[in-house]
Amino acid sequence: MFIGAMITGALVFGIWPEMWKSYGIMGGWLSAVIIIGLCWFMNHWLGLFSNPDGKIWIDQGMPIASAGIAWAIVRFGADFTDCLPTFFLLIIGGILGGIAAYYVKQHNPNFKT
Amino acid sequence: MTTKFQLPNPKLLTGIALCVVFTLSVCLAAPCLADTTDPKTQSLAFDTVTNQLILTETGETLITDPAKQPSALAVWLGTYNPTLGMCNASIFTTIFGGAFVAFFIAICWGKLVEIYGAAGGLFGGGVIVGTFWVINHKLPGIGIAPGGIPHDAGFGIYQYGLIVQAFHGTGPWVDMGLAVCVGLFTMSFLERLRAKKLDPTLPGGAALLSESFPRALSVILGGIAGGAIVGLIGFTGARL
């Protein structure tokens, strides 16, 4: 899990910023296809991330988030405390989205197994 | 032949009422979400006599155009804007930018993989994440001004995505991946709790959380290591 997370974090912040700077919105969109798609294949399809049945899902978004913070601190000397507002607001947003998705999956017949 | 009038399902009515209340509150709150404070400036006040936004330390008037004066309510709501490093509208868009992407991925990606297998997952990576990157993270001056357009406040850059980086983007980058992983974590946790209700032999909430902790920690540490390694490029003198 550690190696998969490390490569994912490195790929996202090594490639993505340069792609959007060079090719604009299309570069950023294309980065998602290249990086997120390939990393998903490695981490979740081939199973580098251990997600046993019946357990809580650990997503590759987690290393991407921690890599973004570490990358900016090391590269630009950013102050860690400055990211906390966005950090906590996104956690609130993620919880809201997760709860909404849970209720939709419980009640929508397309998700009945 | 007459048809008896029937009230819709109470659950449906409640749902519709909630949707109406939410939509109206967003529309009505809009005037109170204006950028009334300059992040990192801790001494703003609204002078109700002159109806102007002023800096209390120097007495300097920040907004002189009467048409652009924020309401007293907007200023009151913005009490913690300097601490959070963003205005009310940005707080709102950041929360919902995260909620949108977390919900969409939680709902769609799994189904794409279920239907199309690995191809569906690869497709989801590009189409879902790429599209949400555009709405959440696109930056000003993309392809034109790679460094971003400097903010009038004197530091940071203008941001146009839903997810706003605090203090005009001068802090460390917080990616929408955080909202996605928290959303999937929450959803799978709630699903397991529901399964536990149906089958008491399954592990409970505390057991699930303690089991997931080492896995979460290892990927967080992996991400920090990967991000830090890439960040070292900054020490090579590269000016990308």
- CB–CB contact A82 B131 (8 Å): no
Q: What CA–CA distance (Å, rounded) separates B129 from A40?
A: 11
Q: What CA–CA distance (Å, rounded) separates B192 from A37?
A: 27
CA angle A81–A87–A92, rounded 5-degree value: 140
Q: What CA–CA distance (Å, rounded) separates B174 from B164?
A: 9
Shortest alpha-carbon distance between residue B67 and chain A (Å): 30
- CB–CB contact A98 B186 (8 Å): yes
Shortest alpha-carbon distance between residue B199 and chain A (Å): 12
- CB–CB contact A91 B191 (8 Å): no
Average predicted confidence (pLDDT) for chain B = 77
Shortest alpha-carbon distance between residue B69 and chain A (Å): 26
Confidence of residue B78 (pLDDT cuts 50, 70, 90): confident
Which residues, numbered 97 to 126 in chain B, qualify as contacts with chain A under a Cβ-Cβ cut-off of 8 Å? 97-104, 106-107, 111, 113, 118, 121-126
Confidence of residue B40 (pLDDT cuts 50, 70, 90): very low
- CB–CB contact A99 B124 (8 Å): no
- CB–CB contact A33 B195 (8 Å): no
CA dihedral B61, B66, B67, B70 (to 10 degrees): 50
Average predicted confidence (pLDDT) for chain A = 87
Q: Does B164 touch chain A (CB under 8 A)?
A: yes
- CB–CB contact A54 B195 (8 Å): yes
More confident residue, B14 or A90: A90
Q: Are B180 and B102 in contact (CB under 8 A)?
A: yes
pLDDT (mean) for B45-67: 57
Write the CB contacts of A57 (distance below 8 Å, at least 6 apart in sequence). Answer: A51, B184, B185, B187, B188
Amino acid of residue A22:
S
What is the percent of chain B where pLDDT is above 90?
12
Reported as half-sphere exposure (CB side, CA atoms, 13 A), residue B105 has a value of 40
Task: Indicate whether B63 pLDDT > 60.
Answer: no
- CB–CB contact B227 A1 (8 Å): no
Q: What CA–CA distance (Å, rounded) separates B135 from B146?
A: 18
Q: Which two tokens stand for residue A87?
A: 């950090």
pLDDT, residue B39, reads 44
A102 to chain B: closest CA residue? B187
- CB–CB contact A70 B223 (8 Å): yes
pLDDT, residue A96, reads 93
Query: Considering only CB atoms, which chain B residues are within 8 Å of A98?
Result: 102-103, 106, 182-187, 190
CA dihedral B4, B5, B11, B14 (to 10 degrees): -170
Which residues, numbered 68 to 87 in chain B, qualify as contacts with chain A under a Cβ-Cβ cut-off of 8 Å? 83-86
A12 to chain B: closest CA residue? B227
Q: How many CB atoms lie within 10 A of CB B3?
A: 5
Write the CB contacts of A36 (distance below 8 Å, at least 6 apart in sequence). Answer: A12, A60, B125, B126, B129, B130
Give the helix/strand (H/E) hosting B61: strand B61-63
pLDDT (mean) for B1-16: 73
